Structure 1
C-alpha cells in the first residue's frame, strides 16, 4: 500500500484554493486526494515552464476553469505551489513566475 503523503500549501495557495467556487474546490480536493494515494489525477499536464517536476491539475466546472500547480516527486510531501482561476487561453506569465518563485522557496533540487 503506498504511503499517504501530506499536502503542503506554499505561500497563499491554500487561501487561493479556498476562494474557488464549491464545485471547483471539491474537484481539486478529489484530485489532490488521488495524488496523496499515489494515483494520477484525472486531468493534468507537466508544467516544464515552471520547473522540473512541476505538474498542473486542470479543472473545468460550470463556474470556470481552474488550475493547481504542484510538485509530487518529493519524498516528504506533495507541495501545492499555486492555485488560480484561468482567465486566458494561455497560462499567464504572472502565474508561471509566482509558481517558479514558490518552487525556489521549497528548494528546486530533488
Structure 2
C-alpha cells in the first residue's frame, strides 16, 4: 500500500491506495486529516482501509486474475 499525504491551506489530506495489483489501481480511502494527536492515522480509518483492501483483492482476483 502507498499513502500520499498533502498539506493545503493549513490542512492535511491523505489518500491511501495500492499498486501491487498489476494494471489496476484501487483508491481505498481519501480523507482530511483532523487528528489533534500527532501524525497517526485514526484507528477507525485504518480499519476502513483494511476492509477495503480485502475487498479490492477479492475483486481483483474475481475479475482480473484469469483474464490475463
What TM-score comes out, normalization by structure 2 length? 0.73
| 2:24 matched residue in structure 1 | 77
CA RMSD of aligned residues (A): 1.7
Give the length in aligned residue pairs. Answer: 56
Greater radius of gyration (CA): 2
Give the Å deviation of 1:63: 5.0
- Does the residue aligned with 1:76 lie in a helix, a strand or coil? coil
**More contact order relative to length (CA 8 Å, sep ≥ 6):** 1
Segments of 5+ residues of structure 2 without an aligned counterpart are 62-68
Segments of 5+ residues of structure 1 without an aligned counterpart are 1-53
What TM-score comes out, normalization by structure 1 length? 0.47
